[in-house]
Chain A
Amino acid sequence: MNAANWLKRTGAAALAAGAMVVIVFMSQVPWLGPGSEGSELRVSWRMPAPSLRHCRPPTEAELEGVPGHMRPGEICNEETVPFGLIVLIDGDTLHAGPAWHPGRRARTLAVYERFPLPAGSHALEVSFVPDSPRVDAASPQMDSVQALATTLSARVVAAPGDVVLVTRNDNGRLVMPPTGPGPP
């Protein structure tokens, strides 16, 4: 092999090795992810959807043609009660809107919201309340629905990368479980 060929082969090998090193580097580029900037307030839980049941006697027209043993004593329908979520941080309203519910007939209500939270100490207030304008306040079952309403007021200290989690415990109260290090 002459010198020129040797040089060419070395160049070819070096280029291939260089390309591989670039691939290795691109495979693990250090990136200062979102956790370096601030923290996050996360509100999340799942519960049976609060609902109101409306019943009435069937009309003549509804009973027509139905055999006697199959005639219902009353006709009921169930309506999901919309709930709202209100989040205040240091007195400022961060969110006031309906909690996620998929539709009037769904059996579960899942709440999931995330809010950026500047690092530091904050007064936090999270309320979960029936969405009053849309609720039949006169219903006798309204008391049990109202009982689901709950509010959490707390002072939190958040460092960059922290997640402040607000969830609902088995007793129906809003709580902040400790979010210490270690995988959940």
Chain B
Amino acid sequence: MLKRPFTRMLARLDGWADRLYGWKWNPLYQSGAIAVLCLAVMLVTGIYLLFFYRIGAPHESIVRIDAQPLGGRWIRSLHRYAADLAVAAAVVHALRMFFQGRSWGPRALAWVSGVFLLFLLYVCGWTGYVMVWDVQGQLLATEGARLLDALPIFSEPVSRTFAGADPLPSAFFFMNLFLHIAIPVGLVIFLWLHVSRVARPVLLPPRPLLWATVGLLAAAAVLLPAPVAQAANLLRIPAEVPLDLFYAFWLPWLRNTPAPAAWLAGTLLVAVLATVPILARPRKDRRPAPSVVSTRLCTACHQCEADCPYDAIRMVERTDGRGGMVAWVNPSHCVSCGICAGSCAPMGVGPPGRTGRDQLARVRDFVAGDAFRAGAIVVVACGRSGGAERGPSNARRASPDSDRAGEGPARFEVSCAGNLHTSVVEYLVRAGARGVLVVACPPRDCSGREGPKWLVERLYHEREAELKARVDRRRVHVAHASAFDPRSVDRALGEFADELARLESPAGEDAIRIDTDCEVPEGAGGDDAGAGPHGPPGVVSRLLPSALFRRWPAGAGRTKAGSE
């Protein structure tokens, strides 16, 4: 009930961030990878801090680190701010997964291990603050002990350790330090589990975003270093506490809450989070069916196995007497993203209703219908992207004339850009479409993970099932636009129409150098890396890595790259 407005709100945020940072560097799409990056920063800075930390005099050792002339304060602050950003990034990442409907079915393992990851991150943070043994650490320790005492498992009140009657045993700080070091090991194990169901997990953001994030953290650590708070004193109740809201937001609430009520609230929260894969699961009749292989059509080329972003396809021995191998889809791993349908040249695999054959049947009807006009641009859009007909950005724009091209393009939708079979594009071009603009989600925001990536490879990089050489690629472009980013689609349409006009003008052939290799000059592609179509040649080609074009002499006969 609340999901729709939140989904719209997040999609709108994506749209704004896309406009500002461009889809390649939009940090919202990289929140999981940013969380991993923060863990890495914490690990490196943590090892440095460990050399100077003393169990026997915790707070004094922190004060000494802070006073180091060689930037101990900066490294401590970097460690802390990375820990804060890790929580923020993990929460954004979890929210995205939830609102994109990526929390159930075969993703349940990723979801539940994600909840554990977040929990471990919290415990690691709490032990970190207790290590400092400042006033916040004192409150975390005493409140934590109060909660533990509500459980009927200890023979003595744990809180008595912090009564102040006796000095704190150094065994306590040793245990705490041990936990603070051991939990990251658990984090790594859970991270492995977390991504174990996805093929080729992207664990770090692209390099410019990586260095920008590290740079920002470092700048904050140098310009706004975290001060060392007052030392803990068990015989004083802390009065002025600098609270880290990322890790200790609950302290003010907990102070006035009886321990059983706190346990109840915490258990409820964890239970709700852990059961999201069941609670958020659509009704049985609305769940998309897993992919199915037609053993009659499968030629055992391995391509779907290589492309599946969830490692859901394996090659197995045939049992129908024909000998050799055949693809097999593990239904409990398949998320029904449909990407395998786009991989299969003989159209032998895909979720029911979305295989290459189903798409061809649909595009035939589409071309025969009213929407299609020969000589006009056709938009082939992922149903989740800004190009979708019923998508939030276009549903509001009643007049098709609002498109800059003035052509009110007909739209043909697919469930994911990676689901699109290249023969659909060929069919449209051969049916007389002036050009085909494929609108995909930003690659790192694809709910099937790798749809836009494989699409571009199939269209321009000869990845199986590639767009055939006989199709004029100058009439096929790809644009990336998130659901609330119709402007990118408009701009891409405009640029594409201009390109086509140049192509169709008598001087067009010269203007776009079709008889030369489409090499991209070094350094190109930086300025407007944000939105816009891509696909050689022209303005848009600047957005793609040059490696994509070098092996593609236009018009020349091409050899198949085959499966990877």
Interface residues of A (CB under 8 A from B): 1, 5, 8, 11-12, 15-17, 20-21, 23-24, 26-36, 39-40, 42, 44-46, 100, 102-103, 106, 108, 110, 112, 114, 160-163, 165, 167, 177, 179-184
Cα distance, A160 to B239, chains bound together (Å): 9
Cα distance, A182 to B234, chains bound together (Å): 9
29 A-B interface contacts by CB (under 8 A): A1-B527, A5-B527, A5-B528, A16-B216, A20-B216, A20-B217, A20-B219, A21-B220, A26-B245, A28-B244, A29-B244, A30-B243, A31-B240, A31-B242, A33-B237, A33-B239, A34-B139, A34-B237, A34-B238, A35-B236, A36-B240, A44-B165, A108-B155, A112-B163, A161-B237, A179-B235, A183-B231, A184-B233, A184-B235
Interface residues of B in 441-468 (CB under 8 A from A): none
The answer on a CB contact under 8 Å between A184 and B234 is yes
Q: Which of A26, A34, A44, A161 contacts B160 (CB 8 A)?
A: A44
Contacts A33-B238, A35-B237 hold; do A24 and B224 have CB atoms under 8 A apart? yes
The answer on a CB contact under 8 Å between B160 and A112 is yes
The answer on a CB contact under 8 Å between A42 and B163 is yes
Which residues of chain B are within 8 angstroms of A44 by Cβ–Cβ distance? 160, 163-165
Of B77-85, B296-304, B486-494, B504-512, the one with at least 4 CB within 8 A of chain A: B77-85
Which residues of chain B are within 8 angstroms of A1 by Cβ–Cβ distance? 527
**What is the total number of residues of chain B having a CB less than 8 Å from a CB of chain A?**
52
Chain A at the B interface: SS class: mixed
Q: Which of A33, A110, A165 contacts B139 (CB 8 A)?
A: A33
Cα distance, A166 to B529, chains bound together (Å): 69
- Say how far A15's CB is from chain B's closest CB, in angstroms: 6
B321 CB-CB contact with A under 8 Å:
no
Q: What 10 new A-B contacts, CB under 8 Å, besides A184-B167, A184-B235? A: A28-B226, A29-B242, A29-B244, A30-B242, A33-B239, A34-B255, A42-B163, A163-B235, A184-B168, A184-B234
Which residues of chain A are within 8 angstroms of B231 by Cβ–Cβ distance? 183
Cα distance, A103 to B27, chains bound together (Å): 56
Cα distance, A12 to B529, chains bound together (Å): 14
The answer on a CB contact under 8 Å between B252 and A31 is yes
Which residues of chain A are within 8 angstroms of B522 by Cβ–Cβ distance? none
Question: Which 8 residue pairs of A and B lie closest in terms of their CB atoms, listed nearest first?
Answer: A35-B237, A35-B239, A44-B163, A112-B157, A179-B235, A110-B156, A33-B241, A28-B242
The answer on a CB contact under 8 Å between A23 and B81 is yes
Cα distance, A49 to B472, chains bound together (Å): 91
Which residues of chain A are within 8 angstroms of B232 by Cβ–Cβ distance? 183
Cα distance, A110 to B154, chains bound together (Å): 11
B59 CB-CB contact with A under 8 Å:
yes
Which residues of chain A are within 8 angstroms of B219 by Cβ–Cβ distance? 17, 20
Contacts A35-B236, A110-B157, A183-B233 hold; do A26 and B84 have CB atoms under 8 A apart? yes
Contacts A44-B165, A102-B155, A110-B157 hold; do A36 and B239 have CB atoms under 8 A apart? yes
- Say how far B124's CB is from chain A's closest CB, in angstroms: 15
B227 CB-CB contact with A under 8 Å:
yes
